[in-house]
Structure 1
Amino acid sequence: MYSRGILIAAAWLLVGCGENSNTPLAGDIASIAVEANATTFYATQNVQMTAVASYTNGVPDSNVTEFIDWSESNSSIATVDVSGLVAGASDGGDVEITGSYNQFFDTAVIHVHALTSVTLSIENNETNLSQEQTLQLQALGTFDDNTTLDVTESMTWILGNAGESNATLEQNGTLYTGDANGTLDINVTRYDVNASLTVTVMP
């Protein structure tokens, strides 16, 4: 009687690991298909990959993105993280993003437009500033297809010549002149693409 109870419990456990399980079982999968939410994007943007598993025995398809191992064919064009988020890199071109789970895998091709140049502008086109001012700077990026996009929040912002003043430059391009007296150098960089702007702060 005790052995029979063990067998029944084991049978229910096996059923629980079937189509109602949230974990994909390699033995139940027929194939995996991966897809990007955009097939073309600009290097300062991101693309999300998803993976859908098709199963045997009439089990409904399931999103298995979180279980997938992701890889890219060329990290100088784009990289993909463990969640399937693809980020552009320095070079433009086609990159293959592969998702795999055990012996199952699929590949999607994405085209990345490289960032080629950046220009800076400042609110109201002011370059002669006074102390205690707060102004917004903007970075416009040009890509290899001649498209121009606002890349202000995609760049690394660097403030030079601040000395011991309390002038600050935030990573969204917001400049606070504080008690600076003289010139401030504003620089942005990404993928070895750089731009600079010099402003003068007077008391």
Structure 2
Amino acid sequence: MAEQKKTRSVIKREAIITGALAAFQQYGVADSSMDKIAELAQVSKRTVYNHFESKEVLVAEIITSEWEKRTVVYDALYDANKSITLQLTSLVANEVELMCDSEMMELVRVAMAHFLFAPDTLQQQMAKMFEQETALQRWLKLAMADGKLKTLDVNFAHDQIKGLLKSRAFWPQLLRQQEPLTANEKTELVDMTVGMFLSYYQA
């Protein structure tokens, strides 16, 4: 089947996102203006605004795209012949790396500051993200169906794991209350979370 040709609009939108990421890396998110983004994307400022009404909306789009790539499309198929501890450890470690990504953290800070004054838009953006099933949720369903986990509410169990991780690796850093976790601290958090989860849910 022939690959569908991208429209001019899609190509420009992708160029804007690429230009924005380049600007964020070069100047930081806070100091990246729409003018700089347009320059790096090699499009007009009007074109940028035609696709994204503000820098904050553009930031939110990038966060959503990155989240989808690293948690929804993430390739982590359940394997009945492999240790569920090792499989879950790999999935949880992926979640921790995303939460601890310094560039992602800066993007989230900018988006949160904007959406505090636009709760309806925030709700729509969150709904867009969380209506999609993540690799972790898919894995939990398959592990339960295989009899390796007790019968559980997959969404609730998924949120339990995320809650344990965010309390140590996301919220304190987002609020600048703690320094980013070291490699050893990440490993300890992953092992602790997996151990706590499986001590209750493993069949």
Q: Which structure features the higher share of helix residues?
A: 2
Q: Same fold (TM over 0.5)?
A: no
Instruction: Place the TM-score, normalised by the shorter chain, in its bin.
Output: under 0.3
User: Is the radius of gyration larger for structure 1 or structure 2?
Assistant: 1
TM-score (norm 1): 0.24
